[in-house]
A and B are shown apart, each in its own frame.
Chain A
């Protein structure tokens, strides 16, 4: 497909997501309290969007991932938060 065809298919959807993202960051700024590790990871991942590397999706996922290689001693919880808490330690 050409770039114009891709834009015809996905521009409006991507535009809406972009505005949602901006609104989320504004909402976060207006809120009280300290940001946690998720904010730091989010800001780190955001930088990947400005990259010219055609692997932005992969790099965003890597920025939010646990990069360690050893198993953890025990599973303390079942769920995932979407960002690696260890990045802030």
Chain B
């Protein structure tokens, strides 16, 4: 089995996790910029974090033979401070030249506030000006429905944005339809408690089909499972889905979306 982990916050994980992922068949890991669990106080803090994502973490992953890619932004949880957000966004372009950077993400909304929307708009503008892919985080729990609608409205109102170059992540049963119907890609995040379980993710694949959908573990410093994607693949096998169907969901689909970035290059299989 082979798979791509398209969303993992590996700076929060251990080397054991890298070893387990590679052993399970992981061919590449992609790391969006994330909230550290506390608010950073300055743009300098983000500068260091972007160095970690684009320079240090790829080296750590390479020790396990795993190609590592990254996405850059200031996370929606830190977007209430628009002054800091503007400073952080201004330093991102110099990092877009780094070899493993795939685009702008994970941008989006957290509590659906006016300032979060302003910062999201700035990120979308940055992506459009630099012709970058976009990875969007949708809000948690009770805020997801409203946030997803606001995000889709904003993206659709910008004529420079191509839906096929944007993935709307963390969809659930009440948001996946509107995302796919609008032409965007949809990401399903496999969490033990929130977001969705493997069984529900497979239900959605059976209902909506496998086009423009990927699944990820979004493993981070919280309760999350780095092997969630290969475990979901095991559940697909229990449901008697053929190998080709599973491979499309966990490898070919993320490969297709990510290959829209010229920086997404995987070494040839030996």
**Interface residues in chain A, defined as those with a beta carbon under 8 Å from any beta carbon in chain B:** 1, 9-10, 55, 57-58, 61-62, 64-69, 71-84
Contact = CB atoms under 8 A, between A and B. Distances in A.
Nearest to B239: A1
Nearest to A74: B113
Contacts of A74: 80, 113-115
A82 B141 CA distance: 5
Contacts of B219: none
Interface of B: 77, 80, 110-117, 139-146, 149-150, 172-174, 199-200, 203, 238-240
Nearest to B150: A71
Contacts of B200: 57
A61 B172 contact: yes
A61 B240 CA distance: 28
Contact of A84 (B113, B142, B172, B239): B142
Given A9-B238, A10-B199, A65-B174, A72 B111 contact: yes
B142 A78 contact: no
A8 to B, nearest CB: 10
A64 B146 CA distance: 12
B174 A62 contact: yes
B203 A75 contact: no
Contacts of B146: 65-69
Contact of B116 (A1, A64, A66, A75): A75
Q: With a 10 A CB-CB cut-off, give which of B77, B172, B174 has the most chain A CB atoms.
A: B174
B173 A71 contact: no
Contacts of B199: 10
Given A80-B143, A81-B141, A73 B114 contact: yes
Nearest 9 pairs of A and B residues by beta carbon: A75-B111, A65-B145, A80-B141, A58-B173, A80-B140, A61-B174, A75-B113, A57-B173, A84-B142
A42 B203 CA distance: 23
B174 A66 contact: no
A55 B143 contact: no
Contacts of B149: 69
Contacts of B240: 1
B142 A81 contact: yes
B142 A75 contact: no
Contact of A80 (B142, B174, B238, B239): B142
29 contacts: A1-B239, A9-B238, A57-B203, A58-B173, A61-B144, A61-B173, A61-B174, A62-B145, A62-B174, A65-B174, A66-B146, A69-B149, A69-B150, A71-B113, A73-B113, A75-B111, A75-B112, A75-B113, A75-B115, A75-B116, A76-B111, A77-B111, A78-B77, A78-B111, A79-B140, A80-B139, A81-B141, A81-B142, A84-B142
A75 B199 CA distance: 33
Given A1-B239, A75-B116, A78-B110, A65 B77 contact: no
Given A57-B200, A78-B111, A83 B174 contact: no
A37 B172 CA distance: 23
Given A58-B174, A75-B110, A80-B139, A66 B115 contact: no
B186 to A, nearest CB: 14
Contacts of B203: 57
A78 B113 CA distance: 11
Contacts of B115: 74-75
